[in-house]
């Protein structure tokens, strides 16, 4: 008969820190989820701006002031970083779905490529926008 005493062990692999050490594969997975959800918030801000433009000039002035302030610039710059990160993570996922890059060493390298690539693409996009 089995021992009725439950085995004490962590119930989720996302319990980073106390039970699990940080690994690039788990961190990149968590960042993909965070960026995907954060992009919903920036999309809502963009819809608010368009809705304010449709409502009237006074309401648009308020929305436009918020979204063109330093806080709005920061939010949309981080959103741009999130877009690039989420895009590159999606490409990596397609690569995984094809059965490639599934060994730990390649998966960790791809995680770093996504992080560095998203920062580089964000900076390049900001430079291009300035011209």
pLDDT in tens, 46-84: 999 999 999 999 999 999 999 999 999 999 999 999 999
Mean pLDDT of all residues in 90-117: 95
Q: Where are the domains of the chain?
A: 24-130
Confidence check: pLDDT of 18 > 90: no
CB 62 within 8 A of CB 88: no
Handedness of CA 124, 128, 130, 131 (dihedral sign): positive
- The pLDDT-based confidence of 12 (bands split at 50, 70, 90) is low
pLDDT for the residue 26: 84
Place of tokens 């989820």: 33
Between residues 65 and 9, which one has the greater pLDDT?
A: 65
Average model confidence (pLDDT) for the chain?
89
What are the backbone angles phi and psi of residue 20, rounded to the nearest 5°? -125, 145
Beta bridge partners of 20: 16
pLDDT for the residue 14: 56
Alpha carbon 27 to its chain centroid, in Å, reads 11
The percent helix, strand, coil of the chain (3-state, each to 5) is 75, 0, 25
For the full predicted model, state whether its pTM sits above 0.85: no
CB 89 within 8 A of CB 10: no
Q: Does domain 24-130 have CATH number 3.40.50.300?
A: no
Low-confidence winner among 8-17, 75-84, 85-94 (lowest mean pLDDT): 8-17
């Amino acid at each position: 008969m089995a021992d009725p005493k439950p085995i004490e062990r962590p119930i989720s692999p996302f319990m980073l820190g106390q039970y699990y050490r940080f690994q690039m594969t788990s961190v990149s997975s968590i960042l993909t989820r965070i960026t995907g959800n954060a992009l919903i918030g920036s999309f809502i801000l963009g819809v608010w701006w368009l809705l304010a433009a449709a409502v009237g000039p006074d309401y648009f002035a308020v929305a436009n002031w918020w979204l063109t302030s330093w806080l709005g610039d920061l939010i949309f710059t981080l959103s741009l970083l999130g877009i690039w990160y989420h895009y590159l993570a999606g490409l990596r996922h397609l690569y995984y779905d094809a059965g490639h890059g599934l060994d730990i060493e390649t998966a960790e390298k791809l995680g770093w490529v996504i992080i560095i690539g998203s920062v580089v693409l964000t900076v390049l996009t900001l430079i291009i926008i300035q011209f």
